[in-house]
């Protein structure tokens, strides 16, 4: 199946698909030098990675929005969402080589995105970015820690859209020791055991001892 046909249900334009192709070409070139995606997934990059990111688009509030992508790595899902959906992406990545890849990918695709090379642990002490509507993360951390990272954005009214695997219920049980949550689980279309966890509200009730 061609990329345009694969992404057609998500109203991704042909022009955006061409820009995504440029992103994929760059990703696979850099993959030979640094590990951006699992090596075994490179041949299924459009389904395992691009579609996996684009499936978030229907869960976004209406309009073109600003998002924060935590531990962005290869730019999945944040940069892909910026290209496919026209959103403004703030990509948080501490690794210098991955941040360099993201910078080049932004230049090549013309995406509305910025790279923030900072440690996620330092986010609470940094000046906030106004208007972040959605915070995303994929394969980053267990939910209790992920909520810690996302707290500055969630506190300011953003919703969370997090890729989670088969242990999501255990993670939710652990997270509710520290957070009062309003969540919804959406089945992943790319992983039969996975979900997209939509966090509509999160208010801390206590801090863990770490």
Contact (Cβ atoms closer than 8 angstroms) between residue 191 and residue 165 = yes
* Phi, psi dihedrals of residue 27, rounded to the nearest 5°: -55, -45
Distance separating alpha carbons of residues 80 and 83, to the nearest angstrom: 5
pTM: 0.95
Looking at residue 210, its pLDDT comes to 57
Residue ranges covered by each domain of the chain: 3-204
Residue 146 CA, distance from chain mean position:
12
Q: What is the reported pLDDT for 126? A: 77
Strand order, beta sheet including 132-138: 113-116, 88-92, 66-70, 132-138, 159-164, 195-204, 179-187
What is the spatial distance between Cα 66 and Cα 133, in angstroms, rounded to a whole number? Answer: 6
Q: What is the pLDDT of residue 136?
A: 98
E strands, the chain, in order: 66-70, 88-92, 113-116, 132-138, 159-164, 179-187, 195-204
Q: Which residue reads 């300011």 in tokens?
A: 156
Residue 35 backbone phi and psi in degrees, to 5: -85, 100
Are 93 and 99 spatial neighbours (Cβ–Cβ below 8 Å)? Answer: yes
Give the pLDDT of residue 1.
67
pLDDT 10s digit of each residue in the chain, 210 long?
Answer: 688 889 999 999 999 999 999 999 999 999 999 999 999 998 999 999 999 999 999 999 999 899 999 999 999 999 999 999 999 999 999 999 999 999 999 999 999 999 999 999 998 877 767 789 999 999 899 999 999 999 999 999 999 999 999 999 999 999 999 999 999 999 999 999 999 999 999 999 988 765
Helix or strand or coil: residue 181?
A: strand
Name the region of 139 (left: φ>0; alpha: ψ -120 to 50; beta: rest).
left
Q: Which CATH class is domain 3-204?
A: alpha beta
Instruction: Note the pLDDT of residue 26.
Output: 98
């Amino acid at each position: 199946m061609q990329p345009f046909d694969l992404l057609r249900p998500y109203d991704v334009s042909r022009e955006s698909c061409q820009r995504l192709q440029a992103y994929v070409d760059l990703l696979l070139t850099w993959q030979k030098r640094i590990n951006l995606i699992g090596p075994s997934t490179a041949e299924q990059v459009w389904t395992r990675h691009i579609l996996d990111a684009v499936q978030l688009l229907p869960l976004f509030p209406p309009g073109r929005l600003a998002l924060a992508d935590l531990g962005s790595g290869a730019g999945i899902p944040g940069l892909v969402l910026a290209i496919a959906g026209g959103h403004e992406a703030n990509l948080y990545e501490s690794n210098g080589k991955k941040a360099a890849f993201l910078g080049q990918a932004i230049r090549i695709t013309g995406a509305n995105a910025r790279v923030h090379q900072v440690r996620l642990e330092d986010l609470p002490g940094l000046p906030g970015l106004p208007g972040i509507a959605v915070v995303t993360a994929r394969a980053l951390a267990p939910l209790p820690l992920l909520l810690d990272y996302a707290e500055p954005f969630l506190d300011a009214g953003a919703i969370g859209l997090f890729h989670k695997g088969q242990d999501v219920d255990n993670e939710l049980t652990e997270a509710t020791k520290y957070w009062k949550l309003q969540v919804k689980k959406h089945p992943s279309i790319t992983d039969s055991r996975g979900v997209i966890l939509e966090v509509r509200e999160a208010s801390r009730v206590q801090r863990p001892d770490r």
